[in-house]
Structure 1
């Protein structure tokens, strides 16, 4: 298995399951409190791992702008919006709506990084997104576009914008040689601090629910969903760019819907099966060996193995 494929599968398998696991975080405390707990714990785990391996924990001076922006966009705003959306929508629907991240990454890489939009990548994205739309339609007909469904969908779209902007800054940092692990750890810490401020502004109470499901889901989301998956994803960005790395978001909802089928009773329609086939075909176009090879002018250094 190639390193790129390994990173891709790691991000997809972990994040495909986190949409459902987030359900166990809701209702006990304010979403901003849960996000603060999640990334505060993740930051401690990652920094502890760096110390145990004798690696540097403090990023270089030129990395702190990236740390702050990635913390604000990726590890706070993005996830607060996701948690708020999950309060209003089934986890599978949130995952499907989150797939718009792939095309947003392509467009933002063009706007902010002046990267050309590769025809095959764009074609794969359009094919994949058409599949996502078909997967989305049955859920949309059931929930409608009024009330909670409309608000939840808007929240997910805003979270996609925030996540995409964070990815752009990660790619900029890769080109500047910003070390991935310490920058990610401090970005998580920064995001957690921001969420503490948001929670206080919302009048939230900081308490820890005496629930095994809450503690176990928090541990999974912090270690696997936050540390391991994000390191795999950010490493993927450093190797192949934010546009193509963002296409993990096309496969994630498929796994999320499979999990939703098993645990939440999601019902597959003919449109859903066709959408699954199109989404897989789009990913094959985007992540095939020929598209992994980047033009020399667009090559970003790998920041972690």
Structure 2
């Protein structure tokens, strides 16, 4: 698959998972639901790799790396972000998680000496400003007390863990570890970690036998985990974490469009300006370096005329 297709699939799927996550909250604890999600996703991954005869054997050292990969990307970060939403609204969570791009930029510079162009910084800044604008009506009246600060703190720690998982994935691929088998093991380790956390907290491993819970679990496991993570982690190695992670800024845009159709969300000036900034930032980040300079040159030339 080409990079554009992988990027679009990632954005569309992850931008729609918020609906499925809503159906996961309730009778079954968040920890147990995450355990089910990545346990089922790992099973699907292992089955696919087996039938495709992809190598599933790794050295002990590589398994240590895969363990931390799964712990950071498929376990601890989800645990923290789920619990953050008990203290802050979804708008603040989206804004906090969207900082993943900037954290990835810093980590890519530190870990891999990746050169980041001013174009990426500019596009990322536009995207973040667009998200804040989009959610301004929800966050303008937020009282930044202890609970809110705790929620933001949990979200940002979750973002740092997710970015660490991104860096480990790049390292995995640079070490010639195939994406899908490595992801299968990572998801299994993430599920095991969440299972241990659930048991330590005394959570019941119950199950909600409803159409909503089962269908949302299948969607999150197959589409939201197997397919979306497969596409996203492939993009990390192909175009770099700084560009691939702009997808996290585009998730709220997809969520707003879906909410307009499903829940009757009414657009206002904040919605239009916010989405416009996010889309513009997306084009700036993913455009070839010469394209932006050419556009700027023509714009300045036209404005003089």
| Distance in 1 of aligned mates of 2:95 and 2:281 | 15
| Match of residue 45 from structure 1 | 44
Structure 1 runs, 4 residues or longer, greater than 6 Å off = none
1:49-60 alignment runs, 5 A limit? 49-60=48-59
Match of 2:298 in 1: none
Query: Hey, what's the Cα distance between the residues in 1 that align with 2:97 and 2:57?
Result: 32
Counterpart residue number, 1:249: 248
Q: 1:91, 1:262 → 2: CA distance? A: 19
How far apart are 1:161 and its partner, in Å? 1.2
1:139-150 pair list within 5 angstroms: 139-146=138-145, 149-150=148-149
Query: How far apart, CA to CA, are the structure 1 residues paired with 2:147 and 2:259?
Result: 19
Q: 1:264–1:145: structure 2 CA closer, same or farther, 3 Å change rule?
A: farther
- Corresponding residue of 2:215: 216
Q: In the alignment, which residue of structure 2 is the partner of 1:26?
A: 25
Aligned to 1:16: 15
Matches within 5 A, 1:170-249: 170-249=169-248
- Give me the whole-angstrom Cα distance separating, in 2, the residues matched to 1:161 and 1:218: 26
TM-score with structure 2 setting the length: 0.88
| Coordinate RMSD, CA, aligned | 2.2
TM-aligned CA distance change 1:268 to 1:153, over 3 Å? farther
- Alignment match, 1:297: none
Closer/same/farther in 2, CA of residues 222 and 196 from structure 1, 3 Å limit: same
Rounded Cα–Cα distance in structure 2 between residues aligned with 1:209 and 1:108: 40
Stretch moving more, 260-269 or 34-43: 260-269
Q: Deviations for 1:173-197, whole angstroms, at most 9, x for unmatched residues? A: 2212111111100000000000011
Q: Which runs of 5+ in 1 are unaligned?
A: 293-305
Deviation per residue, 1:247-295 (Å, 9 max, x gap): 1111111111222334445443322321211111111011113489xxx
Give the count of matched residue pairs.
291
Provide the rounded CA distance (Å) in 2 between the counterparts of 1:259 and 1:93: 19
- Whole-angstrom CA distance in 1 between matches of 2:91 and 2:20: 11
1:92 CA drift (Å)? 5.4
Alignment partners' CA distance in 2, 1:151 and 1:21: 25
Give TM-score, length-normalised by structure 1: 0.88
Deviates more, 1:36-45 or 1:105-114: 105-114
Structure 1 pair 209–143 and aligned structure 2 pair: CA distance change class (3 A): farther
Q: Bigger CA drift: 7-16 or 147-156?
A: 147-156
User: How far apart are the structure 2 equivalents of 1:290 and 1:118?
Assistant: 8
Secondary structure of the 1:97 match is helix
Q: Indicate yes or no: 2:162 matched with 1:166.
A: no
Q: Displacement, 1:142? A: 5.0
Give the C-alpha shift of residue 91 in structure 1: 4.6
Residue number in structure 1 paired with 2:114: 115
1:156-213 Cα shifts (integer Å, max 9, x gaps): 2222111111001111122121111111000000000000111111111111112211
Secondary structure of the structure 2 residue equivalent to 1:252? helix
Unaligned regions of 5+ residues in structure 2, if any?
292-305
The answer as to whether partners of 1:42 and 1:226 remain within 8 angstroms in 2 is yes
Do the aligned residues in 1 keep the contact of 2:101 with 2:246 (CA within 8 Å)? yes
